[in-house]
Structure 1
Amino acid sequence: MATGTATLHAKSLLGENGWLENVRLTLTDGNISTLEADCPARPGDECHNVIVSAMPNLHSHAFQRAMAGLAEMRGTGSDSFWSWRTNMYHFALSMTPDDVEAVASQLYMEMLEAGFSRVGEFHYLHHDKDGTPFANIAEMADRVASASATTGIDLTLLPVFYAHAGFGGTAPTDGQRRFINSVDQFEKLIAACNITAQNHDGMVVGVAPHSLRAVTPDELAKISQMVGPNPVHIHIAEQLLEVKDCLAWSGQRPVEWLLDHADLSAQWCLIHATHMTDDETTRMAQTGAIAGLCPITEGNLGDGTFPAAPFLAQGGKFGIGSDSNVQISIPSELRQLEYSQRLHHNSRNAIANISSSTGRTLFSHALSGGATALATDSGIATGKPANFIALDTREASYLAEDHILDAWIFAETITVGDVWVRGKKVVQDGRHIARDQIAPRFQKTMCNLLSK
């Protein structure tokens, strides 16, 4: 958290209740201490054209950043999520704690440069290469936390409970050995992560039962109670084969089963939730659970299309995540989501309400839903953490208000300039302040990984 006081001025600022003009912000000890609209800039103010809130990234597997661009060779048969997973296991089994920290640092730097201010790290690479727990059971989690501290991104750590290879308690495979914990062992991991959080400002510890195929019902009930009111995230209904296998196991579809057997609320984030019936969609929206959408990864893996229009029509809430981290971009995630709906419904501006900006609608939903999913605050207002982006509008200086968001998301004529997290400027002119230190370490790490 930044200490001291700074003052900024924006010609336009997207506040909690809409656009404001000529806004003067005072930042004190990482928070917004004053926000004055219709106020001219004063000597010494740092001046910007447009300021909007920074975005939460609600779903990330940091180590998979090492795979970006390395899983696009077609195999001998039909490629799918399951063939991609084989490649992912190869990287998961080869990485050391130093490797994970270097890759996570590169990733989190890129997230900040993209305008994300907090990451929900769905962390399941727990143990040593042979599956043996480290002497410090939270060694890998500590490396993730260290990467967040090095880069300045806020962290909601979501340690993953993973115990089985399939529905009904199937024994795990050897390729999953670094993920696996017993309930008792996992409870010790959570305790260790909570100790780590005490030394990292703003860090939140939630929990992530990996999926219904990786936990039994009894385990799910125990795991979801380990973090009190903090976030509970779970992969659900991402793949058609998952739906088929869940029906064979329980007679119910994955989301249907979860709705009937878990006390869903805004504490829960259902990652993907791609394959739902109309009834599941309505019921999920009514619980207040957040849909954790990862449109780029879902498109990359050929997962399917989330039923966004009916979900939002029922009051559903969503946030966005970068998941496999094949690309890190707020506008690309939101644009992919909207375009998937346009292709599915054969219509334009599929998510926005009548006479509303699609860019503003997407941005506002993702901001609010992502903050809820990561147990953090969002928006720019007095008393809130100073987490925001100064957009570079030089290529489209003629635009105002919602057209700015539309151009950023759909045309990319507007880009991220500067980024603040809890009052500290971590990105300037689109470049992270520590890029010259972080990027070479990542390059060296990747060369070593690819030589194995």
Structure 2
Amino acid sequence: MGTPVNARLFARHALLPHGWAADVLIEWDAGGTLVAVTPGAIPVGGIEIAQLVVPGMVNLHSHAFQRALAGLTETAGDNPDSFWTWRELMYRFARQITPEQIEAIAAQLFVECLRHGYTAVCEFHYVQRAPGGALYPRPAETAERVVAASRAAGIGLTMLPVLYSYAGFGELPLGADQQRFRTYPEQVLQMVEALEPMRGGQLEVGAAPHSLRAASITQIQQLARAMPAGRPLHIHIAEQQGEVLQCQAATGMRPLRYLSEHVALDARWCLVHATHIDADEVERIAASGAVAGLCPTTEANLGDGLFPLAQFSAAGGRFGIGSDSHVSQSPVEELRWLEYGQRLQHQRRNVAVSPAQRKVGEFLWQGALQGGAQASGRKVGALAAGMRADLLVLDSEHPNLAGASSDDVLGIFVFAGNDNLVRDVLAGGRWVVQAGRHADQDAIAGRYKQAIAQLREVRS
């Protein structure tokens, strides 16, 4: 990974916050922050020229260790399979993984995310204890491993230590397979404090109550009050119909309404999945300023259901995308299936638009940038002075993009074919991917293969 001698790039066409602009000079400093973005510039000698440049995408929901599980749960059991049967398999996998393996798997995941266009990720991190359930000598040990992996890969990170105290509504005790996840508000806050010295341009630290199943409302209130001002807070909410029914039985309310009645939802919050919400809950999220964290490939893989994007967008709601269980590491695939799910649900085309933006690809990319940036708590998601220098150079020579008008680029990028159209990636002011390859791709893949071989030996 390297920084050019002149930390500048000239883009013939670049996607800025207001839309596409021509002849844009992009400049950044040694710390990885954009210092100037100047449309209508004139190229001078010694500056690299790119044809098509867009901001790097934010992956707002990741469980990095689950990358090693992708594809291994696609065998039907004797009874109908669901999220709940998948979860049991995931628990057994999580019980045996080591900190060293977590780091190796996370680094591989982050390389894949960078190569496909994510330049930042929010890690919803809950494998925090040793296999027997004891705390590590450094309680933030596994979180630190993920931070190390992000630095090795060069991706920006928002670390979210998870509050996970119970096995279900009514404060049910955790089972044997959940002991590695066990935390209480004071332990989460200790982890946040331990990670504090690592914060900087490429790392923010927030927190995440796992869900209304795994944390009591009193704990969630306590954690939200104790977190430093402005830090991101994420929570799984209303992912499954079974969760909605359990919440109603325990509280008399649907999950999103119950949370909003007891917690002051605001722009700090990312409500992950929010799949099963009614019209009142759609309005509540939109009015709060919170982000809906949508993970279409995982939600499809687990049979969760479809988020009501059309109604949510009409209400002015903010959304972002995440790869969650990492059956895909491509923002293009998340956005494509976000729109395709709506088309199947409503039996019409071009659903993800607004009165001001009629191009689906641009609506999706810009909307996910804005929501993802908010959820990350970092200065990302736009090519503008003061933001992180995170950008993608698209392969303008690829047949799909050759000669394309800038107005059509994002529609082609998201909806045409399955080739990866990301050529080069700048993250935090460093070129981490060039000509489609990550600078440390082979070494990181080697460590991942070793970790996977160890885990498969244990499983067998």
Match of 1:210 in 2: 210
One of 433, 436, 444 as aligned partner of 1:438: 444
Contact 2:201 2:428 in 1 (8 A): no
Q: 1:170-216, CA deviations, whole angstroms, 9 ceiling, x for partnerless residues? A: 11111100000233333322221223x24x64311101000001111
Match of 2:98 in 1: 96
Q: 1:152-174, CA deviations, whole angstroms, 9 ceiling, x for partnerless residues? A: 11110000000000011111111
Query: Across the two proteins, how many residue pairs are aligned to each other?
Result: 450
Match of 2:164 in 1: 162
Contact 1:2 1:422 in 2 (8 A): no
Contact 1:122 1:158 in 2 (8 A): yes
CA distance in 2, matches of 1:333, 1:98: 29
Shift of 1:339: 0.4
**Equivalent residues in 2 for 1:35-434, closer than 5 Å:** 35-195=37-197, 197-198=198-199, 201-228=201-228, 229-353=230-354, 356-377=358-379, 378-394=381-397, 395=399, 396-412=401-417, 415-434=421-440
CA distance in 1, matches of 2:205, 2:413: 32
Equivalent residue letter for 1:223: L
Q: 1:215-245, CA deviations, whole angstroms, 9 ceiling, x for partnerless residues? A: 1121111112232220010000000000000
Q: 1:374-426, CA deviations, whole angstroms, 9 ceiling, x for partnerless residues? A: 11222102332211000112122121123100001000466101010121100
Contact 1:156 1:206 in 2 (8 A): yes
- Determine helix, strand or coil for the equivalent of 1:75: coil
CA distance in 1, matches of 2:208, 2:90: 19
Contact 1:231 1:269 in 2 (8 A): yes
Q: 1:226-282, CA deviations, whole angstroms, 9 ceiling, x for partnerless residues? A: 322200100000000000000000000000101111100011010000001111111
Equivalent residue letter for 2:452: M
CA distance in 1, matches of 2:216, 2:385: 45
Moved more, 413-422 or 291-300: 413-422
Contact 1:391 1:414 in 2 (8 A): no
Contact 2:201 2:388 in 1 (8 A): no
Shift of 1:49: 0.9
CA distance in 1, matches of 2:4, 2:22: 27
Q: 1:55-113, CA deviations, whole angstroms, 9 ceiling, x for partnerless residues? A: 11100000000101111111111010011111111110010010000000000111111
CA distance in 1, matches of 2:29, 2:308: 42
Contact 1:205 1:227 in 2 (8 A): no
Shift of 1:27: 2.4
Contact 1:408 1:415 in 2 (8 A): yes
Moved more, 22-31 or 94-103: 22-31
CA distance in 1, matches of 2:449, 2:38: 44
Equivalent residue letter for 1:420: L
- Determine helix, strand or coil for the equivalent of 2:449: helix
Contact 1:99 1:445 in 2 (8 A): yes
Equivalent residue letter for 2:164: Y
Shift of 1:8: 1.4
CA distance in 1, matches of 2:86, 2:59: 23
CA distance in 1, matches of 2:231, 2:185: 18
Q: TM-score, normalised by structure 2?
A: 0.95
Shift of 1:129: 0.5
CA distance in 2, matches of 1:441, 1:312: 42
Q: TM-score, normalised by structure 1?
A: 0.97
CA distance in 2, matches of 1:99, 1:80: 27
CA distance in 1, matches of 2:219, 2:261: 16
Equivalent residue letter for 1:85: R
Contact 1:296 1:333 in 2 (8 A): yes
Equivalent residue letter for 1:275: H
CA distance in 2, matches of 1:351, 1:182: 39
Contact 1:125 1:179 in 2 (8 A): yes
- Determine helix, strand or coil for the equivalent of 1:322: coil
Q: What are the ranges of 5 or more consecutive residues in structure 1 without an aligned counterpart?
A: none
